């Protein structure tokens, strides 16, 4: 629980200092307000403190955000009236924590003026520029070198950073005295480093902040400082963190919970896939067939019990700027943009504008993906050749199989509350909605494919939904932005792992890619139907279903992510990617390093449940083969043998 402040005194009192240090000695979080708008945040015992002093005589807009991503920071006024109290506070914090770690680092940041030796062709796209201030022997050489190397990796506007190290200079901004006496630092084994940052995040003429540049710089700088503090901890203190992410923020403040709740509530106001999927699929096919497949079918959609414009108003009223943690803020911003696009698409159902939003969310079909789909088509038979004839399960029989699988997970965790529901408003097909499996009333599932589909829907989509629910943030079960590709890649791979990824299934996934490419190249529904039916020899019903999924609502390219997600997942495994993060919740491939960072920071927990197929003794052999570099075409060869 964070230490909340009381009314602020105009001075930093002895009692205030005593309270702070008592809490730190007990390894309790400190979050206090300082005089003149300052703030102290230390979420646990750590061997460092980031400090920023803002000037009283001019605006230094945006610089405070550069330290707020750290788990231990102090923002204070540079006013001379609190200078003595601030020094006393810092000395006591340093002394308290140096007892715990054997050493302590004060790291001060300030903004500087432009280096006149560097000439910009465009002052509004300046490269990041840093000057490291050191004092021998109080600035450990290894720590300084680590900082310099990490800063050189920072890019803004695709421009590389400039980093200079200035030895034996005053470690403080112009016009401010050093934070702590040199003799005191030597006495406690303290260290100090300064960092001057050129303020490319604001206009040099108007002081107007460029928020995107500031966010990018703050996030990159946070990572660089964590690497620096990791080096200091390992080399200079008794602390032995296993990874630099361990030194990141753990305390999650009220603003984060509030944003997470608001985004989840808006996400749960609608089911995107349900609303963009036709309700009259069977009637539309019957009419299409009656008209000899020569008139574009008319589809109808569910009425909306919400107004997208009103939800957008709520969405953009969420105060994301209050979140200090740059990693969490990044995830929330991504999700807000995705929800905005989805709501725009729901407003544009059955119009040409719908396809533009689909391209933003799910992308289009690349030439490489199209080539792979065509190769899959060339290497698979036009009619399914199951190894043995297979009976079909109706909706009720398949639902019973699903419920048995769900009961297996309930035995692992009684809170597992997913269910299977047969829906009359879905003629056929399967869909996971809010953690439950919806089964179309007329669905017929080949018995040989039942287990593969169960692992696809339950072992991937429902399992990651539930695992996401066990995490502290709701966005892990509602889904991080762009999660569909990774989800479908895992789901299709699960079909292979249980021996159910048939040639006909691979052919179907390839057909979806080809149909999506037809859509984006301007082909009509009828053109694509004929391409699938006459060129690729799918049955009329199958060709119609594929085309319907691609052309629904005005054009949905989502179905291309199944094959694309599988390709990217195979590449991830070939590169030695870890399996555990994939099941933490609904995440995209680019979120895997972020999930691992948050797990190192103990903000997120390991996945509670693993897919059932992971308990199979022979599963490691299959994963070993995947890590050797199996491709989609290799799957076809294996299936044929």
Structure confidence by residue, pLDDT tens digits, 268-281: 999 999 999 999 99
Residue 98: φ, ψ to 5°: -70, -25
Task: With CA atoms as reference, report the closest residue to 487 among 599, 566, 420.
Answer: 566
Q: How far apart are CA 223 and CA 442, in angstroms?
A: 53
pLDDT digits (tens, 9 = 90+) for 529-543: 999 999 999 999 999
In sequence order, what DSSP letters do the residues of 243-283 get, joined into one string? SGGGGS-----HHHHHHHHHHHHHHTT--HHHHHS-S-HHH
Q: Does position 2 have pLDDT exceeding 50, yes or no?
A: no
Q: Does position 172 have pLDDT exceeding 80, yes or no?
A: yes
Residue 557: C-alpha distances to residues 11, 484, 514 (Å): 61, 12, 10
Q: Report pLDDT for 4.
A: 47
Give the helix, strand, coil percentages of the chain, each rounded to 5.
55, 10, 35
CA 63 centroid distance within chain: 26
Cβ atoms of 591 and 568 closer than 8 Å: no
Q: How far apart are CA 37 and CA 224, in angstroms?
A: 27
pLDDT digits (tens, 9 = 90+) for 293-306: 999 999 999 999 99
Query: What average pLDDT does range 370-377 have in this prediction?
Result: 97
Domains defined along the chain, listed by start: 14-249 (3.40.630), 252-284+300-347 (no CATH)
Q: Which residue has the tokens 């994939």?
A: 582
pLDDT digits (tens, 9 = 90+) for 309-347: 999 999 999 999 999 999 999 999 999 999 999 999 999
Hey, how many other C-beta atoms are within 10 angstroms of the C-beta on 385? Answer: 11
Beginning with the edge strand found earlier in the chain, give each strand of the sheet holding 190-197 in spatial order: 30-34, 38-42, 72-77, 48-54, 104-111, 190-197, 129-133, 162-166
Hey, how many other C-beta atoms are within 10 angstroms of the C-beta on 302? Answer: 15
pLDDT digits (tens, 9 = 90+) for 61-76: 999 999 999 999 999 9
Q: Which long-range contacts (CB under 8 A, 24 or more apart) does 337-343 make?
A: 337/481, 338/481, 338/482, 339/263, 339/266, 339/267, 339/311, 339/315, 340/312, 340/315, 340/316, 342/270, 342/272, 343/270, 343/308, 343/311, 343/312, 343/315
> Given pLDDT bands bounded at 50, 70 and 90, which one contains residue 417?
very high
Residue 436: C-alpha distances to residues 419, 433, 442, 464, 626 (Å): 5, 5, 18, 12, 30
Q: Report pLDDT for 517.
A: 98
Q: Given the DSSP bridges, would you call strands 72-77 and 48-54 parallel, antiparallel or unpaired?
A: parallel
SS3 553: helix
> Given pLDDT bands bounded at 50, 70 and 90, which one contains residue 419?
very high
Q: Tell which phi-psi region holds residue 148, choosing left (phi > 0), alpha (psi between -120 and 50) or beta.
A: alpha
Cβ atoms of 585 and 468 closer than 8 Å: yes
Tokens at 603, concatenated: 């903000």
pLDDT digits (tens, 9 = 90+) for 478-495: 999 999 999 999 999 999
Q: How far apart are CA 313 and CA 310, in angstroms?
A: 5
Task: Name, in order, each residue with C-beta under 8 angstroms of 364's C-beta and a sequence gap of 6 or more.
Answer: 516, 517, 520, 557, 560
Q: Given the DSSP bridges, would you call strands 190-197 and 392-394 parallel, antiparallel or unpaired?
A: unpaired
Task: Name, in order, each residue with C-beta under 8 angstroms of 183's C-beta and a sequence gap of 6 or more.
Answer: none
> Given pLDDT bands bounded at 50, 70 and 90, which one contains residue 125?
low
> Given pLDDT bands bounded at 50, 70 and 90, which one contains residue 468?
very high
Cα-based angle 76, 81, 86 (whole degrees, multiple of 5)? 45
Q: Does position 5 have pLDDT exceeding 60, yes or no?
A: no
Cα-based angle 269, 565, 548 (whole degrees, multiple of 5)? 60
Chain-wide mean pLDDT for the chain?
A: 92
């Amino acid at each position: 629980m964070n230490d909340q402040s009381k009314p602020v005194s105009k001075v930093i009192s002895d009692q205030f200092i005593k309270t702070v240090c008592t809490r730190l000695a007990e390894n309790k979080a400190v979050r206090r307000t300082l005089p003149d708008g300052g703030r102290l945040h230390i979420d646990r015992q750590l061997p460092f403190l980031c400090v920023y002093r803002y000037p009283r005589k001019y605006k230094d807009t945006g610089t405070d955000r550069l330290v707020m991503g750290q788990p231990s920071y102090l923002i204070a006024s540079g006013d001379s009236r609190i200078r003595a109290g601030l020094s006393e506070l810092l000395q006591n914090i340093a002394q308290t924590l140096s007892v715990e770690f054997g050493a302590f680092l004060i790291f001060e940041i300030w903004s500087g003026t432009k280096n006149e030796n560097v000439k910009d062709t465009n002052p509004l796209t300046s490269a990041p520029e840093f000057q490291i201030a050191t004092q021998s022997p109080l600035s450990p050489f290894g720590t300084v070198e680590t900082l310099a190397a990490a800063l050189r990796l920072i890019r803004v506007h695709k421009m590389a950073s400039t980093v200079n190290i200035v030895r034996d200079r005053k470690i403080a901004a112009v016009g401010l005295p050093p934070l702590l006496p040199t003799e005191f630092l030597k006495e406690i084994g303290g260290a100090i480093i300064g960092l001057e940052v050129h303020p490319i995040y604001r206009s040099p003429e108007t002081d107007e902040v460029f928020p995107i540049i500031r966010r990018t710089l703050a996030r990159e700088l946070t990572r660089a400082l964590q690497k620096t503090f990791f080096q200091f901890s390992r080399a200079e203190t008794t602390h032995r963190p296993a990874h630099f992410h361990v030194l990141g923020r753990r305390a999650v403040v009220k603003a984060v919970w509030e944003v997470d709740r608001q985004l989840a509530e808006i996400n749960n106001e609608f089911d995107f896939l349900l609303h963009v999927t036709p309700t009259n699929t069977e009637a539309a096919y019957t009419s299409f067939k009656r008209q000899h497949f020569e008139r574009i079918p008319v589809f109808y959609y569910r009425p909306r019990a919400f107004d997208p414009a009103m939800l957008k108003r709520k969405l953009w009223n969420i105060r994301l700027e209050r979140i200090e943690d740059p990693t969490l803020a990044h995830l929330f911003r991504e999700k807000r943009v995705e929800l905005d696009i989805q709501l725009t698409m729901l407003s544009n159902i059955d119009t040409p504008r719908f396809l533009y939003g689909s391209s933003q969310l799910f992308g289009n079909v690349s030439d490489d993906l199209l080539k792979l789909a065509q190769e899959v088509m060339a290497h698979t038979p036009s009619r399914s050749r199951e190894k043995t004839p297979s009976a079909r399960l109706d909706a009720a029989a398949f639902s019973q199989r699903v419920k048995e699988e769900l009961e297996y997970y309930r035995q692992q965790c009684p809170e597992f509350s997913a269910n299977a529901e047969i829906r009359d408003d879905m003629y056929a097909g399967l869909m996971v909605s809010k953690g439950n499996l919806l089964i179309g009333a007329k669905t017929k599932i080949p018995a040989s494919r039942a287990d593969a589909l169960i692992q696809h829907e339950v072992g991937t989509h429902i399992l990651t939904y539930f695992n996401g629910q066990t995490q502290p943030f709701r966005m892990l079960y509602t889904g991080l932005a762009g999660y569909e590709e990774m989800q479908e890649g895992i789901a299709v791979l699960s079909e292979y792992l249980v021996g159910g990824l048939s040639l006909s299934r691979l052919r179907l996934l390839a057909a979806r890619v080809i149909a999506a490419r037809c859509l984006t190249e301007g082909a009509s529904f009828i053109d694509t139907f004929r391409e699938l039916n006459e060129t690729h020899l799918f049955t009329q019903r199958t060709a119609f279903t594929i085309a319907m999924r691609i052309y629904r609502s005005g054009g949905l390219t989502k179905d291309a992510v199944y094959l694309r997600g599988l390709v990217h997942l195979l590449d991830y495994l070939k590169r030695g990617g870890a399996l555990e993060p994939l099941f933490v919740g609904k995440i995209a491939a680019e979120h895997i390093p972020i999930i691992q960072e948050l797990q190192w920071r103990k903000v997120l927990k390991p996945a509670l449940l693993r897919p059932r197929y992971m308990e199979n003794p022979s599963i490691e052999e299959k994963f070993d083969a995947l890590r050797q570099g199996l491709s989609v075409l290799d799957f076809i060869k294996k299936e044929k043998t």
